[in-house]
Amino acid sequence: MTTTESPRKEASSVSSNDESSRGTLARVLTSQEFWTRAAAPVALAVAFVAFSIAAPNFFTAVNINGMLADAAIPILLAVGMTFAVMLAGIDLSQASTLAFASVLFGIAYGAGWGLLLSFLVAVAVGVGVGVLNGFFVGIVRIPDMISTLGTMGLMMGLSLIISRGIPEPVSDPVLRTIASDSLGPFRWNFLIVLMIVIVLHVLLTHTPLGTHLLAVGDSMDASKAMGLRVSRIKIIGYVIAGLMAGLAAVALILYVGSTQPAANTDYVLKAVAATVLGGTSLFGGRATVWGPALGALLLTVLQTGMIMIGVEAFYEQAVIGIVVLAAATLMRGRK
């Protein structure tokens, strides 16, 4: 009797465990939490496989290396935008800041200041615009969309006034080396951006500042009750966003070999799309750095893949819009 019942009990136990595991897996795969975190990497993997099948030359070392290099600027802007969005804000001035920083970089380099000082000028422009945005949002308390829209117009106007709208060639051997040379399979510009992403990830997840940024984005009232200096923290968030725009200006110059005084507003759309796709809550208080970086890489893969299969470039904006809507739908109501 005992011998007969024992295998039955074991079989019943195994069946119960299998059902429990399947139930757990089903709950995970249908949960909003899972897709909020996994949307970017899953979509990236699907897009990569699909384009590899549709375009024979997509899955090649040369093309992959080129896509990673192309993603450097969108990644910088996306992780910068993340620090504004995690505060329940937005930075619409990124593209104009990039343009203005590139113009002043070109002027400084043309005046014989050298690469290092010119680089610091571009960084200073980004930080300065970030301070300005943070001041109006955090201290004057003007809504972030209005504040950054104003600085967007200001930076756009200044870059065109100073440059007369004419790009200035910048030819430097160090920039050419960073843009074209590789370490193993990766170009230097991508590796530098990867190191910046790692630093920002550590800042967000392993420092008190990262905790304070997320806390302010989650609830300003609760943050004030805890004794946090909300205005200062908001300024820091926008400074990081501006800093990334300044660094993106240098990345753009080494990529195209000249300054770019006309702001490309597509950069802002892609930065917001990558940020939301990467799991950053539009309501603030929830963010990662790796998610938006993967989101920016996904948008680059989509752009390259569509070109390689013969889709007209005009469709790119529509695809990005769909991505933003889909990601925002996944994030609706989440804090």
Predicted confidence (pLDDT) per residue in 172-223, tens digit: 888 888 888 888 778 899 999 999 999 999 999 999 999 999 999 998 889 8
In one-letter notation, the amino acid at residue 265 is T
- The DSSP line for 39-99 is HHHHHHHHHHHHHHHH-TTTSSHHHHHHHHHHTHHHHHHHHHHHHHHTTT---TTHHHHHH
Closest among 101, 116, 92, 126 to 244, alpha carbons compared: 126
Structure tokens at 133: 């945005």
Indicate the SS3 state at residue 132.
Answer: helix
Q: Which among 138, 153, 121 is positioned nearest to 236, based on CA atoms?
A: 138
Q: What is the mean pLDDT of the chain?
A: 86
Task: Please state, as a whole number, how many other Cβ atoms lie within 10 Å of the Cβ of residue 171.
Answer: 9
DSSP H or E stretch at residue 11: helix 2-29
In the three-class reduction of DSSP (H, G, I as helix; E, B as strand; rest coil), residue 234 is classed as helix
Query: Does the pLDDT of residue 90 top 90, yes or no?
Result: yes
pLDDT tops 60 at residue 26 = no
Predicted pLDDT at 183: 82
Distance CA 8, CA 51 (A): 50
Q: Does domain 36-331 have CATH number 3.40.50?
A: no
Helix-strand-coil percent breakdown of the chain, rounded to 5?
75, 0, 20
pLDDT at 269 (0 to 100): 87
Does residue 278 surpass a pLDDT of 60? Answer: yes
| pLDDT value, residue 265 | 80
Q: What is the pLDDT of residue 312?
A: 80
Q: Tell me how long the chain is.
A: 335
CB 94 within 8 A of CB 241: yes
Would you say residue 303 has pLDDT above 80? yes
pLDDT score, position 331: 65
- Residues 264 and 261: their CA atoms lie apart, in Å, by 9
Q: Per-residue pLDDT averaged across 123-149, rounded?
A: 95
Closest alpha carbon to 261 in 190, 333, 160: 160
pTM for the predicted model, two decimal places: 0.88
Cα Rg of the chain, angstroms: 23
Q: Determine contact, residues 334/286, Cβ cutoff 8 Å.
A: yes
Residue 35's pLDDT is 59
CB 261 within 8 A of CB 159: yes
**Which of 298, 264, 280, 251 minimizes the C-alpha distance to 90?**
280
